[in-house]
Structure 1
Amino acid sequence: MSNVDVIVIGLGAMGVAACHHLAARGHRVLGIEQHNLAHDRGSSHGETRLIRKAYFENPDYVPLLCRAFDLWEALQAECGETLFERNGLVTFGRPGESQVYEGTLASGRLYSIPVEQLGRDEALRRWPIYRPPEGFAAAYEPGAGFLYAEKCVLAHARQARARGATLKENEPVVDFRIENGRAQVRTTQGRYSAARLIVAGGGWSARLLADLGLPLELRKMTLGWFPAGPEHAAARGTPGFVFDLDEDFYYGFPQIDGESVKTAGHRRFEALEKPEDKDLAPSPERMAALGRFVRDCLPFASDRLLRWSNCIYTMTPDEDFVIDRHPETPELVFAAGFSGHGFKFASVVGEILADLAIDGATRHPIGFLSASRFRSS
């Protein structure tokens, strides 16, 4: 039986970042992943993820984002590979009505984040590749950008291994328990023991953390890649985009492959019974809506779908994350319910999980992410 300081179950974006931080502090770390690293079975794939500070969802996230930016920059410098492109982000919405647009501006004001306001005509002149509806305005965050998703996961893994962490791939966990103040983990290939256990199970979190009864629901979100001209190229400094339309919230990225842009709708989910069903084909209606968005709002792109991929959203009722210690066995720390907007936080979530596992507390303001908000009084 292997004996280490910390075992991490789940090596998606959050878990592998925790391994990196723990190993960097000199702890003996064992990470266990049921698939290969940077796999496409969960929520940490799909080439790119937006990253921004002016957070319309909840300004309480902004201090975490500021730290996440610093940590992504540090990881990029450490590994000598481009992980993060600061191409900016332009958000289109109807002033006075769009929570996305108004929330972006409000977070920018609250935390002195540079955000430019542009009227529709000015935005059209500046970015003719985007065509917002009449009556819309734009909020542009020049310091925002996008992360290369799989590269980020693999960079954290490489740096963790370089500092002595053991990361096991293609080794499903059978069960685990806390016994006499220690974590005991059984997999298909062995048994392991540690002083602390971190569970970062993504779409498998409800199954792994069943005793907590967390209100986690799975949704399937479909990404589409559509032909686009060189005007969309990231190399030209093209920003990512958000359109808060009446029927959906659409977001997307500049072209990084020389032929296409990736886009998705954030609000219209399809139910997912279990993570293993992720790759069931999306509904024709869903793909038709995505094509209409491209046709209406991206005039330099084609609505001819080149390819699609599904991503798992593990949703909480309030769409905020859950990061906490188990109320009865504090040796167990967990992170779950990232609700489709978590990847950009992975660098700081890894740091937080390491803090909670080793120190039992963190300096980061995560009180609003406690699991206690779901427990009945």
Structure 2
Amino acid sequence: MQRYDLAVVGAGIVGLAHALAAARRGQRVVVIDRDAAANGASIRNFGFVTVTGQAAGDVWQLARRSATVWAEVAEAAAIPIEQRGLLLTARRPEAEAVLDAFLATDMGSGCRRLSPRDLARDWPMVADMRAALWSPHDLRIESRLAIPRLAAWLREAHGVTFAYGTAVHAVAQGRLDTAEGAVAADRIVLCPGDDWATLFPDVYAAAGITRCTLQMLRLAPPGWRIAAPVMGDLSMVRYAGYADLPEAAALRARLEVEAAEMLADGVHLIVVQSADGSLIVGDSHHYAATPPPFAPAAVEARILAAYAECLGTPPPVIERWTGTYAWGARHHLIAAPAPDVRLVVVTSGTGASTAFALAERVIDEWIGIA
């Protein structure tokens, strides 16, 4: 039985981030996943590596570092960066006040304010807005392409072993029991996302983790291109980097009157564009331990209404899907349920934005790198 320095359970972005961090530090790594290919939250998202708007402090720092790693990995693994930056639009005066308050914080460094005249010149597809914030700190990859390419590059460039289609049903000191036999490893990191039924479900229960489900859409190419992802007023009461500002209270109060159904469905606008010109648009947020598999038309209509408020009449919907992720009150969970075993779960829906830096922290502390 071959022995590894580190065994990673889960080949989503959190698991791959730990594999990268360990491999860069000279560790022999195996990644084990029950599915034949990644098909969970890591590919059912925008591919939007969001720095701007993350919660001030530690999470923002994790996002900044992770964006740097993404840029390094994308170049090495031939993963196209489809878009760079962020355009945060402000339609209501209360949203404009939040935008200005954010620009005055340390997190607003490098960002700039755009006037209606700037928008008319450079972003003519954007509907009538009072102002916008331009940030250079964010980037966007195509998740469906990036996750498989990242895994292939880890295999080819770093010698990481992958065992897909292999379910892990028990973990003990230095050993994983799988459907294909035992795997020996000095250390084990579990990154199962919202699959808590098999391994250490008591840890999830104690942390109060549930599931968040969201609806996503792909729209036909609109005939124009946006250089960066676009967000709107609703995002300013959802993303903590804006929502925690005192100025956000007035915006939330107005939205509770004007957009109560959107708030109830957790709808806020993100629009990104793929290489073929199509737009990925979302999303919504509902919470349950076992979410229903259904995607209500009413929620989709609210997502499209948020789009129309910012970018006009939406093109036809050409694809729909839902996703789920583990959700908790904090950004992430790191637990040690057994000696030399770590359970690492991003519980905020920001795995693509923060996992690389979080994994570096876990691995460095674990193997004693200062």
The structure with higher relative contact order (CA 8 Å, sep 6+) is: 2
1:342 equivalent in structure 2:
351
Tell me the TM-score normalised to structure 1 length: 0.79
1:309 equivalent in structure 2:
321
Does 2:181 match 1:190? yes
Structure 1 residues 202 and 83, CA gap change in structure 2 (3 angstroms): farther
2:281 equivalent in structure 1:
263
Structure 2: runs of 5 or more not aligned: 235-254, 256-261
Select which of 152, 177, 188 maps to 1:158: 152
Q: CA shift at 1:348, angstroms?
A: 2.2
SS in structure 2 of the partner of residue 333 of structure 1: strand
Once residues 269 and 121 of structure 1 are traced to their aligned partners in structure 2, the CA distance between those partners, rounded to angstroms, is: 38
Does 2:107 match 1:117? no
Confirm or deny: 8 A CA contact 1:216 1:337 kept in the other structure: no
Once residues 104 and 171 of structure 1 are traced to their aligned partners in structure 2, the CA distance between those partners, rounded to angstroms, is: 46
SS in structure 2 of the partner of residue 142 of structure 1: strand
The CA deviation string for residues 66-113 of structure 1, in whole angstroms up to 9 with x for no partner, is: 32222122212322x13424432111234555897467535xx41563
Confirm or deny: 8 A CA contact 1:173 1:185 kept in the other structure: yes
Does 2:209 match 1:216? yes
Structure 1: runs of 5 or more not aligned: 364-377
The CA deviation string for residues 113-151 of structure 1, in whole angstroms up to 9 with x for no partner, is: 311112445434431212256xx4311113422122233
Confirm or deny: 8 A CA contact 2:41 2:325 kept in the other structure: yes
Residue identity opposite 1:19 in structure 2: A
Q: CA shift at 1:8, angstroms?
A: 0.6
- How many matched pairs? 336
Once residues 193 and 43 of structure 2 are traced to their aligned partners in structure 1, the CA distance between those partners, rounded to angstroms, is: 12
1:67 equivalent in structure 2:
65
The CA deviation string for residues 20-69 of structure 1, in whole angstroms up to 9 with x for no partner, is: 222232222121101123x22x2111474212433343343232223222
SS in structure 1 of the partner of residue 312 of structure 2: coil
Does 2:299 match 1:286? yes
Aligned 1:130-209 pairs, distance under 5 A: 130-131=126-127, 136-162=130-156, 163-177=158-172, 182-205=173-196, 207-209=198-200
Confirm or deny: 8 A CA contact 1:264 1:290 kept in the other structure: yes
2:247 equivalent in structure 1:
none
The CA deviation string for residues 188-240 of structure 1, in whole angstroms up to 9 with x for no partner, is: 111122211101111114652323222111021111012232312x5xxx221
1:240 equivalent in structure 2:
229
1:33 equivalent in structure 2:
33
2:52 equivalent in structure 1:
54
SS in structure 2 of the partner of residue 34 of structure 1: coil
Deviates more, 1:334-343 or 1:25-34: 334-343
Once residues 20 and 174 of structure 1 are traced to their aligned partners in structure 2, the CA distance between those partners, rounded to angstroms, is: 24
Once residues 174 and 100 of structure 1 are traced to their aligned partners in structure 2, the CA distance between those partners, rounded to angstroms, is: 48
RMSD of aligned C-alpha atoms? 2.7
Confirm or deny: 8 A CA contact 1:101 1:244 kept in the other structure: no
Q: Kindly report structure 1 stretches of 4+ aligned residues shifted beyond 6 Å.
A: none
